[in-house]
Amino acid sequence: EIVLTQSPGTLSLSPGERATLSCRASQSVGNNYLAWYQQKAGQAPRLFISGASSRATGIPDRFSGSGSGTDFTLTISRLEPEDFAVYYCQQYATAPLTFGGGTKVEIK
């Protein structure tokens, strides 16, 4: 099983600042099949990034994904008020599919 470790657990930032979220895998993620999801309180997760770097439909370009192998990053270039939420990474290369523990981006 591929274990995903996200850091930090909580990121306290102000609107307009840059956010950098990390996701590290215990072994290489094949084909860079790494996704990022955003979840707001009381809502289902929403796909933001797939294939490590491809934005899903409707996702603004201030969100970018990068990385390969075992180290992946989600960057939000300038935080907007609606971006404060929990973000999860997931690998979908190998069963069992696995999620990271999440990073909460909160308003400072």
Binding site for another protein (CB under 8 A): 1, 33, 35, 37, 39, 43-47, 50, 56, 88, 90, 92-93, 95-102
Strands lying side by side in the sheet with 71-76 = 4-7, 19-25, 71-76, 63-68
Shortest Å distance, C-beta 68 to another protein = 17
Query: For residues 1 and 17, which CB has a smaller minimum distance to another protein in the complex?
Result: 1
Instruction: Find, among 6, 85, 81, the residue nearest to 44 by Cα.
Output: 85
Q: Which helix (H) or strand (E) holds 6?
A: strand 4-7
Shortest Å distance, C-beta 16 to another protein = 28
Shortest Å distance, C-beta 99 to another protein = 4
Query: For residues 49 and 79, which CB has a smaller minimum distance to another protein in the complex?
Result: 49
Shortest Å distance, C-beta 76 to another protein = 20
* 16 φψ region: left (φ > 0), alpha (ψ -120 to 50), beta (else): left
Query: For residues 15 and 102, which CB has a smaller minimum distance to another protein in the complex?
Result: 102
Q: Is 89 exposed, middle or buried (0-12, 13-18, 19+ CB in 10 A)?
A: buried
